[in-house]
Structure 1
Amino acid sequence: MSHHPVFPVSIVIVNYNAGVLLNACVNSCLNEARQIIVVDNGSCDDSIDEIKRVFHNTNKIQIIENNKNLGFAVACNIGLHVATEPMVLFLNPDCKLLDGALQKMVVALNSDVRIGMVGGLLINEKGMEERGCRRAVPTPWRSFVRVFGLYRYSNRWPRLFYDFNLHHQPLPSNAIEMEAISGACMLTKLKAVEDVGLWDEGYFLHCEDLDWCMRYRKQGWKILFEPNAQIIHQQGACSKSRPIFVEWHKHKGMMRFYRKFFYHQYPLGLMGAVSAGVWFRFIAIASWKYLKRLKFSLRGYQKVRKF
């Protein structure tokens, strides 16, 4: 009987009201890594109680409970401070490692001393690749191209109208170097973190993974995308109850990212146009989501009245 390898990896899972998804996530990691760290950001559901109940027989899981939601980056750093293994996997609670996924990422990470980070193939429950698990850095110009739909001309002028989302391109057969991967599933070497620095806690939610990818590459570390490491990701499952809150921090994070890395590299006019586009996009999305929730609430109210 073959022995399943347990890898020298600390898995950091930042939880916020993930419900039963957290249980499934932890269960998929249990026989893969030496240490599992669950950092809870002030959840008000029973997800942490369930973890304590279901996995009470193992000492592999360490639970850290924050009194309030400190943000994703802060929680990741809290997990990093107690990580004991030479490799750390940051995994969203709405993710589930499929068989062999961690092993393939570990092999890719250790294939070169200058590889500092590896991401896997995030798929939905239908097996379709999710947007964002392999991407180019969304520079202000690339974001301008994306927001105004100019990426549709990328086939004719690929260098000018390059789309930073790469999920529509054919999957590579093996691990390839990438500008950026998703923070939903990100394996890194602890010594790379020591060189690059911790997650930027100025981000509350979203874009902190892009920030880290930029800093890794600036320090000379390579980032790989391993298409053979598959992870089921129920994207948005943990944030659907607070859509406008999430969109606010997503767009605020975008602005921090642009100002931090590109403010002095692009013309002021373009930066202004991108900033206006970001906030216009937020207003449009927030308005649509607000009206959608209002419509849903009114339907519920009408049903109650009829009853």
Structure 2
Amino acid sequence: MEALLTPTASPLDCDVIIVNYNAGKLLTDCVSSVLLANAARAIVVDNGSTDGSLEYLASVFPSDKLTVLLNNSNLGFAFACNVGTRASSANRLLFLNPDSVLSDSGLLRMLEVLDSSPTIGMVGGFLCNPDGSEQAGGRRSFPTPQRAFLRAFGLSRLARFFPETFSDFLQHAEPLPGQPAAVEAISGACMLVKRAAINDVGLWDEGYFLHCEDLDWCMRFAQRGWKVMFVPDAKVVHVRGACGRNRPLFVEWHKHHGMLRFYRKFYHHQYPGLLWGLVVAGVWMRFIMVASYHGIRYALVRMGIGRG
């Protein structure tokens, strides 16, 4: 892990909420970066982990700046985020995945942008892979059914010729802005939010179990007039999928179920009758394709042909 910020005398008015589910020692790396960034508290909400991640964390950080809240089972990401939100009294909350590490000045930079305007309600950092490359999802447009269809069938590649018609909802392939930029959505892996905005918009929608709850919140922030900002110089290293790679079908099921909930809440009125049926069929067709891929891959691994 890279060099981290030396804490100042006065803690920042920001609690960091980390939802853990079998993140292993990555959780400890995450909490370490949070405490060194001088957040007021790291609030770990555990969804019934069984991998010893909490025991290892406790052996490393017997700190009064660390709070661990236990759910008896995996109740979902949004539910756990709300548990952490209710346990905090800070005016700014950072929701951070347990497989993420803040850079030396990442939190301070995001706070600076969040506080720069009363209309900014949410800020996300530069999510990157361990090799430093930008990760998909850190800055994006809303994945409307049309955009999702174009991306699923590779048609978004035509955006270079027809940007208005074939634009992608993911923006990581676009040039990195030189300064903080307004976007439609950021990733729930790193989401800094004002308490005042939460009080206005409401908590996370617990109808989502895993995936798309962050899109839902961004949409609701936009509907209430709150700006969402992407901060390119606030680096956050994210080991994407570390907590779910052993259960790909479970993750994909909830991802597709979440996408349908998102579409139903915000786009159903634009797709009446048969068109809505096509949207639903398209989502589940994509799930069948992804599930088949994972099934074949698993079979090849069991046969000793592929890699796990």
TM category (shorter chain) comes to over 0.9
**Cα distance in 1, alignment partners of residues 154 and 7 from structure 2:** 52
How much does 1:146 deviate? 1.3
Check if 1:40 corresponds to 2:46.
yes
Q: Decide which of 65, 73, 97 is 1:60's aligned counterpart.
A: 65
- Would you say the 8 A contact 1:6–1:31 is kept in 2? no
Structure 2 unaligned runs (5+)? Answer: 1-5
Match for residue 141 of structure 1 among 138, 146, 170: 146
Residues of 2 paired with 1:286 and 1:294: CA distance?
Answer: 12
Determine the C-alpha separation between the residues in 1 that align with 2:11 and 2:132: 26
Matched, 1:211 2:216: yes
Q: Structure 1: any 5+ residue segments left out of the alignment?
A: 301-307
Identity of aligned pairs, percent? 52
* Aligned partner (choices 128, 137, 154) of residue 159 of structure 2: 154
Matched, 1:91 2:96: yes
Instruction: Check 1:156–1:241 CA distance in 2 against 1; reply closer, same or farther (3 A cut).
Output: same
**In the alignment, which residue of structure 2 is the partner of 1:27?**
32
The CA distance in 2 between the partners of 1:2 and 1:93, in whole Å, is: 20
Partner secondary structure for residue 134 of structure 1: coil
State the SS of the aligned residue for 1:200. coil
Distance across 2 between alignment mates of 1:3 and 1:240: 37
Number of aligned residue pairs: give it. 299
- Separation of aligned partners in 2, 1:238 and 1:257: 23
> Which of 185, 192, 197 matches 1:180?
185
Distance 1:46 1:275 in 2: 39
1:222 to 1:233, Cα distance in 2 relative to 1, 3 A: same
Secondary structure of the corresponding residue to residue 23 of structure 2: coil
Mapped to 2, the partners of 1:215 and 1:255 lie a distance apart of 16
TM superposition shift of 1:2: 9.3
- Please, which of 198, 205, 209 is the counterpart of residue 200 of structure 1? 205
TM-score norm. by structure 1 comes to 0.94
Deviation track 1:174-230 (CA, whole Å, cap 9, x = no partner) reads: 101000000000000011001000000000000000000000000000000000000
CA deviation vs aligned residue, 1:132-175 (integer Å, no higher than 9, x gap)? 00000011111122122221211222111111010000000110
Secondary structure at the residue paired with 2:81? helix
Q: How does 1:287-306 map to 2 (within 5 A)?
A: 287-299=292-304
Are residues 1:270 and 2:275 paired?
Answer: yes
Instruction: For residues 14-71 of structure 1, give each alpha carbon's deviation from its aligned partner in whole angstroms, at most 9, with x where no partner exists.
Output: 0000001001000000122001100000001100011111111x10100011110000
Distance of 1:253 and 1:43 partners within structure 2: 23
Give the match for residue 246 of structure 2.
Answer: 241
Q: Residue 94 of structure 1 aligns to which amino acid in structure 2?
A: D
Aligned partners of 1:4, 1:120: CA distance in 2, in Å? 25
Alpha-carbon distance in structure 1 between the residues aligned to 2:34 and 2:110: 14
Aligned to 1:16: 21
Aligned residues of 1:151 and 1:162 also touching (Cα < 8 A):
yes
Find the counterpart in structure 2 of residue 303 from structure 1: none
Secondary structure of the equivalent of 1:8? strand
Aligned with 2:229 (options 224, 231, 241)? 224
CA distance in 2, matches of 1:69, 1:18: 13
Instruction: Rate the CA distance shift 1:36–1:2 in 2: closer, same or farther, 3 A.
Output: closer
Residue 295 of structure 1, CA deviation: 1.9
Q: C-alpha separation between the residues in 2 aligned to 1:38 and 1:3?
A: 22
Task: Report if the CA contact (8 A) 2:253-2:287 is conserved.
Answer: yes
Q: What secondary structure sits across from 2:79 in the alignment?
A: helix
**What does residue 109 of structure 1 align with?**
114
What amino acid sits opposite 1:72 in the alignment? F
TM-score using structure 2 length: 0.94
Structure 1 partner of 2:3: none
Aligned-residue offset at 1:299: 2.3
Structure 1: distance between partners of 2:302 and 2:64: 44
- Checking the alignment, whether the CA contact within 8 Å between 1:120 and 1:226 is kept in structure 2 is yes
Q: Distance in 1 between matches of 2:80 and 2:7?
A: 36
Counterpart in 2 of 1:51?
57
- What is the letter of the counterpart of residue 158 of structure 1? P
- In the other structure, the counterpart of 1:163 is 168
How far is the alpha carbon of 1:287 from its aligned partner? 1.2
Determine the structure 2 residue equivalent to 1:69: 74
Change (3 A) 1:270 1:5: farther
